[in-house]
Structure 1
Amino acid sequence: MQRAFLAGILLALITPCIGMTIVLKRMSMIGDALSHSSLAGVAAGLIFGINPVLSAAVVCVAAALGIERIRKKLPRYSEMAIAIVMSGGIGLAGVLSGFVKNSANFSSFLFGSIVAISREELVLVTVISLIVLITVLLLYKELFYIGFDENAARISGVPVQRINFVFTVLTALTISIASRTVGALIISSMLVVPAACGMQMGRSYKKALLWAVIVAVSTTIAGLILSYYAGWKPGGTIVLLEVVWFVIIVFRKALIKK
């Protein structure tokens, strides 16, 4: 359970950092596209005897770069790039899953199994989390600029293409490690919902990001405790608590306006 708490808190720290920029860029569905693509990597890893988390990371990064490539070629239809990659990822995962001998292993990646995380997987989560956190801190201003307006960022001298490339890789790595712990079907919600809560509570980008992290960490801790005693799935419990928090914020703001 200690590993579960550590892995959960690490993911709760990095998912809002990635999710805030995703929401600002109006690419909320990219989490679904990459998480579904990661399942193809999981299936491939199980088939060929490779660590499924590593194979998921490789496929996830490739899918993310594919989305960026299509967005660059068709800038007016950026949402179409996400739909294309997600469709391809789902199709490939569906085909490859038929060749997986132990279907239980594959199914565990759908909703995650954070309480069963191994020491090696915890090390991988820790390393990637540190990489994501350090990179986000170093590129804080650049991510802020491209999140609001890429054209203005480009005029201001921000290397938009390079920053987008780095951010895309960070997003893919975050989703690939989270698919093992909280589940491929749930990680998209953990990227978007805390960011949405933060944007409702904070009046500036910095405060919104801080609130998003607070929401993510608190709901992760509460979700793990509740799921342990109630016998629920940890990933689903965490996401439900995040959604409840968002609903409370919205209702509270509506009551204040009245």
Structure 2
Amino acid sequence: MLAFFQSGPVQMALALSGAAAFVCGALGLFTVLRGQAFAGHALADVSSAGGAAGLLFGISPLLGFLLLGIAGVGALEILQPRRAAARDEAAGILLGAGLGVTALFLHFCITGHGASGAAQTVMFGAMFSAPPGTAGWACALAALCAAVMAVIARPLLLASLNQDLALIAGAPVRALGVGFLLLLALGVTLAAMTVGAILATALLIGPAAVALRLARGPGMAVLLSILLGLAACWGGIVLAYLSYGWIPGRTWPVSFFIVGLLLLFYAASGLRRRA
């Protein structure tokens, strides 16, 4: 274990995944309450185009993920109709467009630069090989998200539970919705850097879904969601590290372990509720 903690790539992975778990744990609760899980998935797929563009043009993948995620928020605001029943349609269109652009950029990466691992990096994460400085920026973005959430948490919770009551109370519901989507773009950016764009929704929704089953208040639910996300991410890193000795010459992807642990947590919470 001493070699584990002294490894530079492991330190990078622990910091990056810790920032992602913290942000997604806090945002996931509101994502579930607001019924925006599909919107979060759409933003993750749009941000994947930014990650692919970062590899293609030689810029930071974290910056690419974040910029396209923010652009996805703008597109959602333009495409999203007022009728709740039609919002998933807009998110679905955006999701497909994001994956299409991602496929184009990855094609150029593979055929033009010979980056055969580009698709694996963008779609399934590469936290052990993230560029230097990525973990520091990820932690700074997580701190920024925490500061903003501390300011808007109460009115956002009211707007998430009862929009009409929030309007009567004078809460800026529309601004809160846009602000939350921007934070959500940040959350899926960090999740995409950790487990990849395709699996980012698991880290966003999984811990929050378990916490809502077990906790008895919003504050405890957010705390439990963060702790579960950290347990899944850091536990997945440990298992991926240990997998080097399971089959000679083969390793297991860390994303598999993280998502597998989240599924295990969710199943266990269901059994506990039935008990």
2:19 to 10, 15, 26: 10
| 1:117 Cα deviation after fit | 2.6
C-alpha displacement of 1:69: 3.0
5 Å matches for 1:1-258?
Answer: 1-100=10-109, 101=113, 102-230=115-243, 231-254=251-274, 256=275
Q: Gapped runs of 5+ residues in structure 2?
A: 1-9, 244-250
User: 1:49 & 1:2 partners in 2: Cα distance?
Assistant: 24
| Alpha-carbon spacing, 1:214–1:49, altered in 2? closer, same or farther (3 Å) | closer
Partners in 2 of 1:179 and 1:76 — Cα distance?
Answer: 28
3-state SS in 2 of match to 1:119:
coil
Question: Do the aligned partners of 1:13 and 1:216 also contact (CA within 8 Å) in 2?
Answer: yes
* Residue 103 of structure 1: how far off its partner (Å): 3.5
8 Å CA contact retained: 1:35, 1:185:
yes
Q: Give the secondary structure class of the aligned counterpart of 1:139.
A: helix
Q: Structure 1 residues 69, 145: CA separation in 2 closer, same or farther (over 3 Å shift)?
A: farther
Q: Is the 8 A contact 1:111 1:236 kept in 2?
A: no
Distance (whole Å) between structure 1 residues aligned to residue 26 and residue 200 of structure 2 = 14
Instruction: Work out whether residues 37 and 85 of structure 1, in 8 Å CA contact, stay in contact via their aligned partners in 2.
Output: yes
1:46–1:52 contact (8 Å) kept in structure 2: yes
Runs of 4+, deviation exceeding 6 Å: none
What is the TM-score with the length of structure 1 in the denominator?
0.92
Q: Which moved more, 1:72-81 or 1:181-190?
A: 72-81
Code of the aligned partner of 1:181: T
Displacement of 1:52 in angstroms is: 2.6
The Cα shift of 1:192 comes to 0.4
Which stretch has the larger CA shift, 131-140 or 214-223? 214-223
After superposition, give the CA deviation of every residue in 1:69-95 in whole Å (9 maximum; x if it has no partner).
Answer: 333554441211211110111112122
Indicate conservation of the 8 Å contact 1:65/1:168, yes or no. no
Counterpart code for 1:253: R
- On the 8 A contact 1:10/1:125 being kept in 2, the answer is yes
In 2, Cα distance between equivalents of 1:72 and 1:129: 30
Specify the SS of the correspondent of 2:80. Answer: helix
CA distance in 1, matches of 2:193, 2:20: 11
Look up the SS of the partner of 2:108 in the other structure: coil
On the 8 A contact 2:50/2:67 being kept in 1, the answer is yes
Q: Do the aligned partners of 1:22 and 1:28 also contact (CA within 8 Å) in 2?
A: yes
Q: Deviations over 1:15-69 (max 9, x none)?
A: 0111111100111112221111112112222333322321221111111221133
Identical amino acids, percent of aligned pairs: 24
What TM-score comes out, normalization by structure 2 length? 0.87
- Do the aligned residues in 2 keep the contact of 1:114 with 1:180 (CA within 8 Å)? yes
Q: Residue type matched to 1:28 in 2?
A: A
Secondary structure of 1:43's counterpart equals helix
SS of the residue 2:101 aligns to: helix
Give the C-alpha shift of residue 235 in structure 1.
2.0
Letter in 2 for 1:25: R
